[in-house]
Structure 1
Amino acid sequence: MAISSIGVGSGLKLDELLENLRTTEKKSLAVIQNRQIANTNKISAYGQLKSSLGELQSATKALSEDSFGAVKVTANSENIQITGKANAAPGQYVIKVDNLATRQTLTAAAHGSRDSAIGEGGKITVRLANGKEHTLDMKGKDTSLQGVMNAINADAELGMKATIINTGNPSEPYRLQLSAEATGEAASISTISVDGNDDLAAVLNVDASDPAASGFEQTKATNAKLTVNGIAITSQSNTLKNTIEGLEITLNKAGEDPINVEVAKDDGAALNAVKDYVAAYNKFNNAIRSLTAYNVDLKKGAALTGDSMAREAQNAMRDATLGFVPGEGQIRSMVGLGITVDPKTGDLQLDEKKLTEVLKTNMADVKNMFLGEQGIAGRVHAAADEFIKKGGRIDNVQEGAEKVGKRLQDQFDAADQRIENKIEAYRKQFVQLDVMINRMQGTSNYLSQQLSMLGNMNSNK
């Protein structure tokens, strides 16, 4: 008869025995599994190392020209906004804003429909006050007010933008309004002319010197006008760059009252940039310690304990940060800034009081130490790049570890299959044993019955 579970026929716990054999055999897979776990942890740790290096590299961006020699600009009015660059000279200024720069607008005569075609095709030529000229070809395009507006707004070379105003007039509610793209008189529209479409010409042709003759209304452009320490300034834009060297002035509102502006040296920007770099370096150093740590009590290392890549990255960042900077300046290393190394942890320790004093008295040397040709910022950025760039050293070791992971998985699958094959062979043998024992028990039972019958027959005689 068919036996659905081994051991049923014989009464032996062959199923349990087979599972115990499987469990015992699969213990040998633990070696491969442990190697897989260690390799996966290493791949993850390389990712953490790459991220930590990237953060340290990013911290060098704050060590910039704008940080060393930064200025602080204050003004006693919100009518202007001023930002300063490192080349701005400390000083005081009195600014009076007489007039803001504005854009010209030209509003065409009223029109009855925004969607009906106005003739066919044609070329629209726009000439600006600064002499620039550009032509928009309407061939094959929608010549309705809506279509003309869309075509104008899609052409960045025209120097103007368009919109449609709905006045609410029941018969002719739509007016096309054209605005110069930039502020100031030079950017204003001088003429608009249409060739090849008389109907469209009747709507758009205009000479800004006499807009009323074409049914247009005009709001003229104006230049910004201001005085700086009594000197008259005219600008096409409300944003003035280098009117005062190193300063960018944005005019928000005209006013009668003079505005007092003070430009002062700001060592705080450099101080914060250096402090932030020290913090980033220590964060990187802590990450290395964590990734390469060894627990003496557990006798167990971290993912990159003993890994040469982690130590090489740490050494590279330390050398780039702490190495002397060539040159003749008095400040040529971190020690000169009041930054020393903790001998136990390797972290940087900052004497903020000393750094503040050095920045106050010797900013040029500090700037050169970080930003010079062989300065710390450039060295750290370049050294980190060797490890974290695409196809760099960390990518290479990660790729190698991923190949190891694939080989380990192949080994695991092959070993697991060998075990399953062995267990299947055991199962077949157990089935045969079960059948054999079942038959033997059947024969034994038959013989016992026959002997019992013979005994009964003899006792009846």
Structure 2
Amino acid sequence: MVGISSAGIGSGLDIEGIIRSLMAAERIPLTKVTQERTAINTKISIYGIIKNSFADLKASADKLSNLSNLNPLKTTSSDDKVVSATASSSAAKGSYSIQVSQLAKAQSVAAPSVATSDSVVGTGSLTLTLGSYDSATNTFTDNAAKTPVTINIGEGQQTLDGIKQAINDANAGVTASIVNDGTGSRLVLTSKETGAVNGFKLEVSDADGTNTDAAGLSMLAYDPTAAAGAGKNAESLQVAQNANFTINNLAVSKASNTVTDAVAGLTLNLKAITTAPVNIEVALDDGALKTTLDGFVAAYNKIRGNLKDQQQKDATLSKETTPSTLERGMRNILREQVAQYGIGLSDIGLNFDKDGVLSLDKTKLDAAVAANPSILEKVFTNTATTTDARIKFVGADTKTLEGTYAINISTAYDGSNTVAGTINGVAGTGIGSVLTGATGEASEGLQFSVAQGAAGDMGTITFSKGLAERLSDWIGSLSDEGGALVSRTDGLNSRKKRLDTQEDRINLRLEQVEKRYRAQFTALDTMLASMQQTSAYLSQQLAALAQQR
């Protein structure tokens, strides 16, 4: 019998076609698994889009939780080439008239000249002391905030260039440079900081035994109280001086031309002596504010649109409740009021239409801010009011619950210790002058500072969480363990893993089924081929018998 090498060759049956048809039917469950996995991947992708849109909304809400974004200030100067300014959110709006009579300058002195920067000067040590010089009394007062620095000048450092490098490496509050004035090289020392308190004196301990003469290392000495050539050997190029100016006719003197501590929240940049008053205007930057609010509106409407789209009849997530639950939760937060103040979004011009689309009425916003400058802070951020002015709200966290809390201080802050006391009868945690609510309590995370020396019953603090803070906290919870977005995507990923396992089982079964079909049809093919050969043989024999008759 001839061997059969391929199914169907012996019998003539289309066995491969039969097996393909049978296996196609067997693979129907696998097709369903593939289709379900594709559907799950699509859902996971859409939830990723929703999660990203929520992240954008949270970022916008966080901006509104920051007071500097709710109270952006702009400054204008009548002559910014002379005086310019910048303002933080804590600055007071208004006008400031600035007149500058003197700019702050750094002290600078120049030592006597030598032939070149490689000329040997001498060895010994230099002591640089920062402080202020009073020419009226011929006294030098050390700057208590700066420690005198002694710089050793040894062999290999005794040239003018070596001394310059040693001074600069010492970081003693002055900068050394070498200037060729046409007659020779001179060491020039300049204070790193401007202001009268940042002047300096340079005392020398000269290896030649004489510390104040003009020979050797002592030629560099500069003590403003000494006599010229006897300890005051360097030449004064510029005395250290403060910036002297007036703010609304109030005299002010500062060590720097960049003044950050004259008016709270306002930085003044003094550039030149004035010939006429320079007017600085500090006002609300309503353009920046509206840009921030427009960004929030756009981010809200984007995620709302995403969630609405997935609630439509033929949407991928149409049969899931998560999109509608998320939309409702988000909308409900923004339709709340801040109870302590009885205000909400509609009071500042943020309104929902009948379809839930958010928009900003900028005319109403302007009117609301004009009538109540702190209204945006009250609507959006965490705020607190106290019944005792010695208690100042510092902050809170996501675990702090809204409410009114009684305060009692048992250990007053004295400027160096740690305050101690209770919030609603529960001991808080003190760090310096700040007391924080205890973990696990309604006041957890609530922080306030206590004025130095204040103790006993300090009244109450009433904490309110702004709508932007509430929204940001809620969005954050969606991605926390057990949150709606995490739970749903985790569920989909778990289902996908089960489908992967199911697919592996089906593929294993299909492999076994195909082997069985091939074995069965190979046996059938062999049997049919044998029967066909037998039939041909019998036909031949019958034909032969018929011929013999």
Per the normalisation by structure 2, the TM-score is: 0.63
Does the 8 A contact of 1:88 with 1:247 survive in 2? yes
* 1:76 maps to which of 75, 78, 95: 78
Q: Does 1:66 align with 2:47?
A: no
CA separation of 1:75 and 1:30: change in aligned 2, threshold 3 A = same
How many angstroms apart in 1 are the aligned matches of 2:278 and 2:194?
A: 23
CA separation of 1:166 and 1:426: change in aligned 2, threshold 3 A = farther
Q: CA deviation at 1:384?
A: 1.8
How many angstroms apart in 2 are the aligned matches of 1:236 and 1:364?
A: 35
Does the 8 A contact of 1:162 with 1:178 survive in 2? yes
Does the 8 A contact of 2:11 with 2:526 survive in 1? yes
Partner of 1:249: 268
Partner of 1:419: 510
Does the 8 A contact of 1:338 with 1:355 survive in 2? yes
Larger relative helix fraction: 1
Which one-letter code corresponds to 1:333 in the other structure?
Answer: G
Q: CA deviation at 1:206?
A: 6.1
Does the 8 A contact of 1:159 with 1:180 survive in 2? no
Q: Secondary structure at the match of 1:415?
A: helix
CA separation of 1:447 and 1:49: change in aligned 2, threshold 3 A = same
* 2:348 maps to which of 337, 341, 355: 337
How many angstroms apart in 1 are the aligned matches of 2:496 and 2:477?
A: 25
Partner of 2:50: 49
How many angstroms apart in 1 are the aligned matches of 2:300 and 2:151?
A: 60
How many angstroms apart in 1 are the aligned matches of 2:379 and 2:22?
A: 69
Partner of 2:330: 317
CA separation of 1:126 and 1:313: change in aligned 2, threshold 3 A = farther
Instruction: Describe how 1:8-47 pairs up with structure 2 within 5 A.
Output: 8-47=9-48
Q: Deviations over 1:84-122 (max 9, x none)?
A: 234433433332445554556788986559xxxx99xx9
Partner of 1:294: 312
Partner of 1:199: none
Instruction: Describe how 1:97-108 pairs up with structure 2 within 5 A.
Output: 97-102=100-105
Does the 8 A contact of 1:123 with 1:195 survive in 2? yes
Q: Deviations over 1:207-254 (max 9, x none)?
A: 553799799888655543434344443322332114233321223455
- Kindly report the root-mean-square deviation, in angstroms, between the aligned alpha carbons of the 2 structures: 4.6
CA separation of 1:398 and 1:306: change in aligned 2, threshold 3 A = closer
Does the 8 A contact of 2:179 with 2:188 survive in 1? no
CA separation of 1:280 and 1:429: change in aligned 2, threshold 3 A = same
Does the 8 A contact of 1:91 with 1:262 survive in 2? yes
Q: Deviations over 1:252-285 (max 9, x none)?
A: 4556454232233555554444443333222221
Q: Deviations over 1:361-385 (max 9, x none)?
A: 2333443223342321222122222
Aligned length: 429
CA separation of 1:406 and 1:152: change in aligned 2, threshold 3 A = farther
Does the 8 A contact of 2:130 with 2:201 survive in 1? yes
Which one-letter code corresponds to 2:311 in the other structure?
Answer: A
How many angstroms apart in 2 are the aligned matches of 1:160 and 1:451?
A: 127
Q: Does 1:285 align with 2:290?
A: no
* 2:489 maps to which of 385, 398, 401: 398
CA separation of 1:160 and 1:307: change in aligned 2, threshold 3 A = farther
Does the 8 A contact of 2:130 with 2:173 survive in 1? no
Q: Secondary structure at the match of 2:67?
A: coil
Query: Identity over the aligned pairs, expressed in percent?
Result: 28
CA separation of 1:60 and 1:100: change in aligned 2, threshold 3 A = farther
Q: Secondary structure at the match of 2:85?
A: strand
Does the 8 A contact of 1:369 with 1:376 survive in 2? yes
Partner of 1:240: 259
Partner of 2:374: 364
Partner of 2:440: none
How many angstroms apart in 1 are the aligned matches of 2:345 and 2:504?
A: 54
Partner of 2:138: none
Q: CA deviation at 1:314?
A: 2.4
How many angstroms apart in 1 are the aligned matches of 2:17 and 2:110?
A: 95
Higher RCO (CA-CA < 8 Å; seq separation 6+): 1
Q: Secondary structure at the match of 1:261?
A: strand
Does the 8 A contact of 2:481 with 2:487 survive in 1? no
Q: Secondary structure at the match of 2:91?
A: coil
Instruction: Describe how 1:427-446 pairs up with structure 2 within 5 A.
Output: 427-446=518-537
Per the normalisation by structure 1, the TM-score is: 0.74
CA separation of 1:435 and 1:267: change in aligned 2, threshold 3 A = same
